[in-house]
Amino acid sequence: MSAEQVSGLCEQLVKAVTVIMDPASTQRYRLEALKFCEEFKEKCPICVPCGLKLAEKTQTAIVRHFGLQILEHVVKYRWNNMPRLEKVYLKNNVMGLISSGTQSILEEESHIKDVLSRIVVEMIKREWPQHWPDMLKELDTLSKQGETQTELVMFILLRLAEDVVTFQTLPTQRRRDIQQTLTQNMEKIFSFLLATLQQNVNKYRCMKTDLAQEPKAQANCRVGIAALNTLAGYIDWVALSHITADNCKLLEMLCLLLNEPELQVGAAECLLIAVSRKGKLEDRTPLMVLFGDVAMHCILSAAQTADGEGLVEKHYVFLKRLCQVLCALGSQLCALLGSDCDVETPANFGKYLESFLAFTTHPSQFLRSSTQITWGALFRHEVLSHDPVLLAVVPKYLRASMTNLVKVGFPSKADSPSCEYSRFDFDSDEDFNAFFNSFRAQQGEVMRMACRLDPLTGFQMAGEWLKYQLTAPVDTGPMNSKTGEGLCSIFSPSFVQWDAMTFFSESVISQMFRTMDKDEIPVNDGIDLLQLVLNFETKDPLILSCVLTNVSALFPFVTYRPEYLPQVLSKLFASVTFEVVEESKAPRTRAVKNVRRHACSSIIKMCRDYPQLVLPNFEMLYNHVKQLLSNELLLTQMEKCALMEALVLISNQFKDYERQKAFLEELMAPVAGLWLSPEMQRVLSDPEAFISYVGADNKIADPVLEDPSGLNRSRISFCVYTILGVVKRARWPAATEEAKAGGFFLGYLPSGTPMYRNPCTEQVLKLFDNLLALIRTHNNLYMPEMVARLGDTFAKALDMLEVEKNAILGLPQPLLDLYDSPVYKTVLERMQGFFCTLYDNCFHILGNAGPSMQQDFYTVEGLATQLLSSAFNNLNNIPDYRLRPMLRVFVKPLVLSCPSEYYETLVCPMLGPLFTYLHMRLSQKWQVINQRSMLCEDDAADDNPESQEMLEEQLVRLLTREVMDLATVCCVSKKGVEQNTTAAVDGDDDEAMATEVTPPANAELTELGKCLMKQEDVCTAVLITAYTSLSWKDTLSCQRTTTQLCWPLLKQVLPGNLLPDAVSWFFTSVLKGLQVHGQHDGCMAALVHLAFQIYEALRPRYGELKAVMEQIPDIQLESLEQFDSKLLNPTLQKMADKRRKDHFKRLISGCIGKPIGEQFRKEVHIRNLPSLFKKVKPSLETDVLENEDGEGFNVLFEP
């Protein structure tokens, strides 16, 4: 290798790098240059001298960086095949570069420093400690040369800790060797880091005021920052004794650095990591030193200084860190106090609380929210919650909450000091809104805890604030509501205050009733407040909504003074018919609709929670409702129905079957008259007549105001709503004695379950045939010939509402639209809303019918056949967004509430065909999705844009989850399904998945599961669906099905004679699932466990499984033989479960899918070195003597 050769190649490389980095280069030139550089790195035998030449100080930074990258590439990919001398040569030269081959600390580019430290770390990972015992000494020697070298040494130590401990990017044995050696040397490393930090900070402090010494001071400052960053990489995992050594010297230094502007963020970071450490309580006790005078003073003065300089990003970041430090300190105190450790409440606890309160009252909403969890822990703590110092802070905390509940600080506005902080923390108003809503909910919980400690203070504050709001003039602010002139929008100052006050009073009053004894409740004060609220009149829908919430919050006082009940009822009933402008023809806005709905639900809630209280006023209530119902146009169908539900709830208190039955008959008479009329029967059972009756075949000129068939639709809605309300609310008394006395009790089922009769059964079953006819008709509307009959205006009447689409796609709602827009903007939206609600409500009735009417429903003649011919009719044309609610609100509750006596007659005949159909449907849908992703280059037709595809795909995912959830609920006992509640069914919850999943050992089949699995068609459909679904592209569904469903189902059929092909298919399905989902830790762990279970259980009976294993890419056949022989030889002692599973995972690793970022990554191979625990053979000693290069790898031998 001649010098000319190296120079010539280097010149070409410099040109290539220049072309790559030049923005003016053409793409073709750039690609050629890139190819040349990559091929050079892969194949050239003289990479090391070329890399070193390019890395010389005389070259430009870009070229030097490339040179160092070449050296890094050599160490990572060629090290194992390099001769020993070349390794020594490379290592010495790299150390030489650190020593004298870089620019000074302030001039050198950070990417050069970074790559240089990476090269050293890559060598350490391959050779230390066995072949490079003096590595730490060498680094120490380098650091003595000056700041430039010390900073690089810091980078090396940090990178080493990150690779070995944090990211663990190297083989287990090497990682263990290095981590153990680091741990053995930790005392030296730590004192080295501390000394470096201290020396450089001291020099920096001496010189920073002297302008002449500015560069020198800056250099020391840089090293100080690097030392803090490196410490942060170690504090997290080293033994706590190192952190607390020498009277907590490290913590003291960090506290003092909090007041050093250039170093404070790094110091706070280290402090935070130290204070957040878990571990044995006695080891953590020394951390309490941070409650001492010096530490507290440092933290407080640093916070005051940072805050005193206004909003500067750097200071704000520091404040956030300090706030986290105080939170972590609070958590440590809560953990240590009251435990066996000898820790007492710190003398400075009051000072701590004051400073913590300062963060809770800071203008930044983010800082305020950061403190809440710690406040909660303090208020809940068994010792601290009795501490007078903490009790004295409770009123201050509640006062702060009054301010913090006010929703201000939108980043787009400037109406509060919080706004400018929000611009740092949130990208948009929607973002802030979502944050604030969860922050407020969190505050509610903490306030309730605070009120447990001091209920009266909270109530007094709520009373003061409520009185103030009732008398304060309304300020609508600059933005008027579209609902009407002079009304509040959701951003109006008055509404924002009302909203906060309402939340506050609701939280503290409910807690007061839970906490205080009955005799201590301040009844008179509560009734006075209720009077004030009842007498308050407003025409503003947003404020009225708040008023109604306050009425509900104060309602428990009426239990002490029942004479106030009529006044409360009058207030609520007046709000049920609320209008901003009487007799207005314009569509109601959501704000108005919300008030009316709010009043209805307040009445329902009152009747549900205080039925005994309302019962004496039943006649008054009934007359009110009759009067409102007499005018067909006064209320919407939902409002009418809500009032009827309230009456039904009270009628449950009659506790007399005949009386209640007579009342329900009278209540439902208008519905029965309408529903059973010959015209309605014709309309409900004929799709054409139905379309015409609801007006969906019309063409309408003015789609906003004109709606000729609105009344017809509302009649159908009224009937369906009422049936649902009655089925949902009518019940027998909970106490068996009362049920017997009232004539509700019928005896016992063979299983010992008591049987009751529901007073609504007769009425509801009378209407049942027409309900099923309506469901059948509604399903048939989706037949192509029926869709063709929809009028021009209503061509999309059966589509989803925009709101539903946005919810599924996870698009945020614009904030203002929610309240100011009409609920339905056009008659088309109204029609869509009608179909959607009607469909859902019909299935809600069927879902509630079982729990409500019990045996009277399950024994309806031919019920299974009737349901199959109505609810499950024409499923092929029913879209996913309609099928989903049907499974959730009808099939699932029906199955769950059905007693085992009716499994054979009702559930199995229904679920068999359903599961078979669902499997076919989902398989086809996923096939389309998979083909689409394979052919994504061929653009889809224009009428199906991307958003539509995304919506369809997401719907298929959600439907899949619904189907798998249904199968799980039917088949697997509750014990195994408890994690089923972890994530919401909607949305993309991949991040929420656990990473270590072992299915619960006790996941057994339910009685229903066993019954279903006895029927061959159902058994096949459920098994095939479960195992096929593992390779559908939905991580959440895959993980749930794997952990909860697959093994219990397969275990049930194991005793039978499974065909070898079937066994191979099950096993292959799991491996296919691994191919698709292996990149997600949660799924991977669950699928590997399942594959392992299947192989262990079935391999002894089915040799075919071995044949499947042999087809796995890159499988090591000897290793497989070894695994098999151990598995098949029962005499051998079994290895531990974990070791067997790890062995199995290594065998199948060839089919575990990788994330796209890792699929084409070049493998790095790091060889294991001789074990640290064996005695080193003497032959190595001679080798050491022969190594004439005394520096460095004195025990490095030939590979």
Residue-level pLDDT at 588: 76
Residue-level pLDDT at 1136: 75
When comparing pLDDT for 1180 and 1039, which is higher? 1039
CB atoms within 10 A of CB 633: 8
Say whether pLDDT at 674 is over 80.
Answer: yes
Tell me whether residue 692 is exposed, middle or buried, using C-beta atoms within 10 angstroms of its C-beta: 0 to 12, 13 to 18, 19 or more: middle
Task: Give residue 517's identity as a one-letter amino acid code.
Answer: D
Distance CA(1038)–CA(1026), nearest Å, equals: 9
Render the burial of 7-30: b for 16+ CB within 10 Å, e for the rest. eebbeebbebbebbeeeeeeeeeb
Among candidates 67, 161, 173, 165, which has minimal Cα distance to 126?
173
Tokens found for residue 673: 């008259």
Please give the share of the chain, as a percent, with pLDDT higher than 70. 91
Task: Tell me the CB-side half-sphere exposure of residue 926, using CA atoms within 13 A.
Answer: 19
Distances (CA, A) of 1101 to 169, 569, 821, 1059, 1106: 40, 73, 67, 11, 11
Distances (CA, A) of 842 to 275, 304, 617, 963, 966: 57, 62, 32, 20, 19
Digit-coded pLDDT (tens) for 643-660: 999 999 999 999 999 999
Give mean pLDDT, residues 338-348. Answer: 85
The DSSP code sequence of 619-644 is HHHHHHHHHHHHSTTTS-HHHHHHHH
Q: Rounded to an integer, what is the distance from CA 1070 to the centroid of its chain?
A: 27
Say whether pLDDT at 983 is over 50.
Answer: no
Residue-level pLDDT at 823: 64
Identify the residue whose tokens are 């009051």: 350
Among candidates 1129, 1073, 1136, 1127, which has minimal Cα distance to 1099?
1127
Give the 3-state secondary structure of residue 745.
strand
CB 756 within 8 A of CB 874: no
Residue-level pLDDT at 806: 84
Task: Give residue 643's identity as a one-letter amino acid code.
Answer: L
Confidence of residue 1180 (pLDDT cuts 50, 70, 90): very low
Say whether pLDDT at 708 is over 80.
Answer: no
Which region among 607-616, 866-875, 940-949 has the lowest average model confidence (pLDDT)? 940-949
Residue-level pLDDT at 809: 83
Confidence of residue 678 (pLDDT cuts 50, 70, 90): very high
Distance CA(239)–CA(232), nearest Å, equals: 14
Distance CA(63)–CA(10), nearest Å, equals: 10
Distance CA(1008)–CA(974), nearest Å, equals: 12
CB 1148 within 8 A of CB 1075: no
Confidence of residue 545 (pLDDT cuts 50, 70, 90): very high
Give the 3-state secondary structure of residue 755.
strand
Most distant CA pair in the chain: distance in Å?
A: 110
CB atoms within 10 A of CB 877: 15
CB atoms within 10 A of CB 480: 15
Tokens found for residue 881: 């967004």
Residue-level pLDDT at 874: 93
CB atoms within 10 A of CB 753: 12
C-alpha distance across the termini of the chain, in Å: 23
CB 476 within 8 A of CB 488: yes
Please give the share of the chain, as a percent, with pLDDT higher than 90. 69
Within 8 A by CB and 6+ apart from 227, the residues are 154, 193, 196, 197, 200
Tokens found for residue 90: 């490379």
Tokens found for residue 261: 């502007």
Distance CA(442)–CA(446), nearest Å, equals: 6
Residue-level pLDDT at 17: 95
Residue-level pLDDT at 1184: 37
Digit-coded pLDDT (tens) for 132-152: 999 999 999 999 999 999 999
Digit-coded pLDDT (tens) for 28-42: 999 999 999 999 999
Task: Give residue 695's identity as a one-letter amino acid code.
Answer: G
- As a whole number, the mean pLDDT across the chain is 89
Distance CA(731)–CA(757), nearest Å, equals: 9
Provide the whole-model pTM.
0.85
Tokens found for residue 834: 């009608």
DSSP 3-state helix, strand, coil percentages of the chain (rounded to 5)? 70, 0, 30
Say whether pLDDT at 706 is over 70.
Answer: no
Task: Give residue 764's identity as a one-letter amino acid code.
Answer: V
Digit-coded pLDDT (tens) for 52-88: 999 999 999 999 999 999 999 999 999 999 999 999 9
